[in-house]
Amino acid sequence: MSQSALAVELKGIWKRFPGVIANSDINLKVTSGTVHAIVGENGAGKSTLMKILYGMQKADEGTISINGSDLVFNSPSDAIDSGIGMVHQHFMLADNFTVLENIVLGSEPKNGIRLDFAKARKQISDIAAENGLAVDPDVLVSELGVGDRQRIEILKVLYRGAKILILDEPTAVLVPHEVDELFNTLRDLKKEGLTVIFISHKLDEVLSIADEITVIRQGTTVGSVNPHTQNVSARDLAEMMVGNELPTPDAVGDTIQDEVVLKVENLSVFAKGGKAIVDDISFQIRAGEIVGIAGVEGNGQAEILDALMGIESASGRVQFKDEDITNKSTRHRRELGIGFIPEDRHRQALMLEAPLWENRMLGHQTKAPNAKGMWLTPRSAKADTKRIVEEYDVRTPNIDVLASALSGGNQQKLIVGREMSGEPKLLIAAHPTRGVDVGAQAAIWDHIRHARQSGLAVLLVSADLDELIGLSDNIKILLRGKFVADADPATVTPQELGTAMTGAGEAA
Amino acid sequence: MNLRRIGTSLIAPAIGLFVSLAVTAVILVAIGASVSTVFSSMWNYGTSPRAMSLMLNLATIYFLSALAVSIGFKMNLFNIGVNGQYVLAALAAAVVASNLTLPKVASVSITIFVAMFVGAAWAGISAWLKVARGVSEVISTIMLNFIAIGIISYIIVRTPIGTETSLNIRGTKAIPETGMLRGIAFIDPGTQIYGFFFIAIFIGVAYWFLLNRTRFGFDLRATGKSATAARTSGVQSNRMIYVTMLLSGAVAGLVGLPYLLGDTGSYTLQFPTDWGFIGIAIALLGRNNPLGIALGAILWAFLDISSGQLVLEGVPREISTIMQGLIVIVVVISYEVVRRYQVKSEQTSVAKALAKQEASV
């Protein structure tokens, strides 16, 4: 099988966004008729790469060849024409249509001007039978569960004639037995000669299904392994994924005080279907303490942070110092002195089409230097924005430019500077140094450490394990919405942490 | 940088005006009229003192209507119901004012308060529907327009509130002269400019202050720029929907007053009912900026007033409606083009400036 033709070959793919290099010199060979997994941390460049392969974005450099011929994709329809199909992580189905209608939507078989449902039904049941995808074509999609919906998505791409399937984090939404079913389906597809590209960061799953695994780290392919012929463990993969090049923040002496700043009891957040995304967690943070949360993205981190800020509704109890803030508004929490660096800066932390100094006010629009009573004070807000720009080395010609004009790293520096202003008592931070260059990263760490010495409590979520280990006094490992273990940052290595995060540690 | 931003934001309306003039010229040629005669006669009439006075009066109404719409637009809340809000408010104001026998200042103040209250209340129904039931405000405000018109017809035709006024039109009892706010003639000696012209200027300034200098205004603009970021910053979206919709409705309540208190003195079945939609167009033209809205309102009013001249030139007066429509379409498109260009050019100029800084270090 390993000698057969290449279904997909990517050579020297580069993709740059303003201020960020998403993909640098990516090389990927996918053998026809195999399941090929692409693993890497979030932000490593997996999704950009798949968007390039599916024609949603164009590479700046590099070539794509499908079944041996070089092609240029200008849009997803070009990719579909060459037999590539994408199953998105978020399903794109119309709830009020039947399974059949959803599958044919957009490429309906026609008989004159009439829809030929009989023909479609036949085609679909043929495809379904060949690939072991059991679905009832006449059920409304709204009545189906997640696993069935995913099967419909797969049928949809097969119906359009796809021979190469891209599955983007397909198991993120599934419960374990659904994952098993999906894997059976994938094995059937492979038997039919189809090629599957499987994107994931769950290493144990990848090892059980993939014929070949390519690891991406910081935008580039760092290696490929064949789990059938090479003896690789989840631990080895985690090591490849995490790497070890960034400067390590050095932990400084104990600054932890007695006062408990944040006390969380039995916090749970539920998804719409009732599934617990955050599952009954409790912890506390004292003044001068940094508690880190380690976990693969999507295991509930964003929801914990949103719940603590009062943005997402949750059950349980949250106490800030002596005050029960469980039912308090986001604004009240911010006014108490809780700074927040959210995970998604474009969605949650910035007004992209507003000048920097207005962004400096965001989230702090009720306090000095931004407001006095009900009136805004633009002059002092601008002065303070200049201070942040200088102290945090935000590279910008002036403070009147729109936030969208800055590179991601400089936007992040502005956000960190803003949230560290006004002497917060508690900082809730997700990936505080994501996207910033190495020098600025060290400066941000210094700022956080400095504030900690004067009693700042920090809840830190980070995908950068060195950062997590270097800054935290205490690390909690989050898996599927639960704290599954604690790690001592004084002794744990990034490799051990990476393994524990993926759940592979339980087996190892 | 700021000068450049102002410059680019003037480009869009300039393009809009130019393209619509060009297309209108083509249409005029097509129907066999002389382009230069038509345009020059519109211009000559439109710049006469009397026409300019009428224009300012009409622009006052349009300005208020567009302000009401743009308060909502600023946070992506679409109040399409200014029509319903202002007709109900005008009716209520006419009824109350006609029964008041107070000094002018007191009487007019009460009338204004009643109109704003009724406008806000009517808009508040849509806010409640949106917050409590998730009904899109676009749908509910449009529906409430029809309901408002229906209610008014019923009141005027079937209840003792409506009486025969002069010329055999049913309407409310005439407002006594002490309750009117007529105005002064300062451009054309024969034509008064509504007293509301000055009130509208005041409201325009207040609108600017509210939006740019208050915490509430910041919350509102933040919600419009990024609802998720605003929420994370502590803005309570439901509360914002209520407050914004009530404010929008309160300003909408004023739309009918310049005409009611400055001219008719009575709400009749012939009271215009489509100023709200014109307000939407002008809010788009003026980009929700009070100065832009003022210019847009004057332009719109100019085209309305001078369209009378078209008939004298043997050209259908609908030509001016076509021009108005064209202006809105072209301006909206060119705003978007200019906006994208602006974002891009700022990114490149920031990159350039930084590269220079780096090189000099």
Pairing type for strands A276-286 and B183-184 reads unpaired
A353 and B229 in contact by Cβ < 8 A? no
**8-state DSSP, A341:** E
Residues of B in contact with A18 (CB under 8 A): 347, 351
CB A23 within 8 A of CB A219: yes
Both structure tokens of A216:
């991406």
Percent of chain B with pLDDT over 70: 96
Stronger pLDDT, A480 or A244, i.e. the higher one: A480
Q: Is B103 helix (H, G, I), strand (E, B) or coil?
A: coil
Mean pLDDT for A242-247 is 56
A397 and B218 in contact by Cβ < 8 A? no
- pLDDT score for B358: 56
Mean pLDDT for B169-193 is 88
For the cut 80, the answer to whether the pLDDT of residue B190 exceeds it is yes
Pairing type for strands A260-270 and A315-320 reads antiparallel
Task: Determine the Cα–Cα distance for residues A485 and A292; give it in Å rounded to an integer.
Answer: 12
- pLDDT tens for B280-316 read 999 999 989 999 999 999 999 999 998 888 888 888 8
For the cut 60, the answer to whether the pLDDT of residue A326 exceeds it is yes
- pLDDT score for A90: 72
User: Residue type for B170, please?
Assistant: R
Stronger pLDDT, A506 or A354, i.e. the higher one: A354
Please name the residue ranges forming H helices in A41-197: 46-53, 76-81, 99-104, 117-131, 146-159, 176-191
| Contacts by B219-223, CB closer than 8 A, 24 or more apart | B219/A365, B220/B71, B220/B74, B220/B75, B220/B244, B221/A354, B221/B74, B221/B75, B222/A351, B222/A354, B222/A362, B222/A365, B223/B75, B223/B76
CA distance B297 to chain A (A): 27
ipTM of the complex: 0.84
- pLDDT score for A243: 67
When mean pLDDT is compared across A131-135, A429-433, A463-467, B222-226, the lowest value belongs to: A131-135
- pLDDT tens for A12-52 read 888 876 656 678 888 899 998 899 999 877 667 787 888 89
Task: Determine the Cα–Cα distance for residues B327 and B304; give it in Å rounded to an integer.
Answer: 14
φ, ψ of residue A454 in degrees (nearest 5): -95, 20
Residues of B in contact with A350 (CB under 8 A): 226, 229
- pLDDT tens for A201-211 read 777 788 888 99
- pLDDT score for A508: 35
- pLDDT score for A43: 63
Task: Determine the Cα–Cα distance for residues A393 and A463; give it in Å rounded to an integer.
Answer: 23
CA distance A125 to chain B (A): 39
- pLDDT score for B53: 93
- Would you list which residues of chain B are within 8 Å, Cβ to Cβ, of chain A? 1-2, 212-219, 221-222, 225-226, 228-236, 343, 346-347, 349-351, 353-354, 357
Both structure tokens of A304:
């914990």
CA distance A414 to chain B (A): 15
Question: CA A308, A312, A317 angle in degrees (round to 5)?
Answer: 45
CA distance B143 to chain A (A): 26
- pLDDT score for B348: 77
Q: What are the residues whose beta carbons fall under 8 Å from the beta carbon of B139, sequence distance 6 or more?
A: none
- pLDDT tens for B67-82 read 999 999 999 999 999 9
Q: What are the residues whose beta carbons fall under 8 Å from the beta carbon of B166, sequence distance 6 or more?
A: none
Give strand pairing partners of A196.
A35, A165
C-alpha distances (whole Å) from A195 to each of A8, A9, A39, A84 are 9, 13, 17, 9
Task: Determine the Cα–Cα distance for residues A507 and A505; give it in Å rounded to an integer.
Answer: 5
Model confidence band, residue B357 (pLDDT cutoffs 50, 70, 90) = low
Mean pLDDT for A492-508 is 69
Mean pLDDT for B136-160 is 94
Of A239, A454, A363, nearest to B230 by C-alpha is A363
- pLDDT score for A149: 84
A353 burial class (0-12, 13-18, 19+ CB within 10 angstroms)? middle
φ, ψ of residue B49 in degrees (nearest 5): -55, -40
- pLDDT tens for A261-295 read 999 999 999 987 778 889 999 999 999 999 999 98
DSSP code per residue over A218-270: TTEEEEEE-TTTS---HHHHHHHHH-S-SPPPPPPSP---S-EEEEEEEEEEE
Mean pLDDT for B123-150 is 95
- pLDDT score for A36: 93
Residue B222 has its nearest CB partner, among A333, A362, A371, at: A362
Mean pLDDT for A140-152 is 82
Model confidence band, residue A112 (pLDDT cutoffs 50, 70, 90) = confident
Of A197, A193, A192, nearest to A130 by C-alpha is A192
For the cut 90, the answer to whether the pLDDT of residue A394 exceeds it is no
- Would you list which residues of chain A are within 8 Å, Cβ to Cβ, of chain B? 18, 309, 311, 329-335, 340, 342, 347-354, 358, 361-366, 371, 374-376, 378, 395-398, 400-402, 404-406
Cα dihedral B199→B288→A382→B349 (10° resolution): -150
Q: Where are the beta strands (DSSP E) in A375-473?
A: 375-376, 426-430, 457-461
Please name the residue ranges forming H helices in chain B: 2-30, 35-46, 49-73, 82-98, 104-133, 137-158, 196-213, 215-225, 227-232, 237-252, 257-259, 275-285, 290-312, 318-360
- pLDDT tens for B91-128 read 999 999 999 989 999 999 999 999 999 999 999 999 99
Q: Please, what sign has the CA dihedral across residues A417, A422, A424, A425?
A: positive
CB A205 within 8 A of CB A179: yes
For chain A, how many helices (H) and strands (E)? 16, 24
Which residue on chain B is closest to A346 by alpha carbon? Answer: B229
- pLDDT tens for B25-58 read 998 899 888 889 888 988 999 889 999 999 999 9
Instruction: Look at the pTM and tell me if it is higher than 0.80.
Output: no
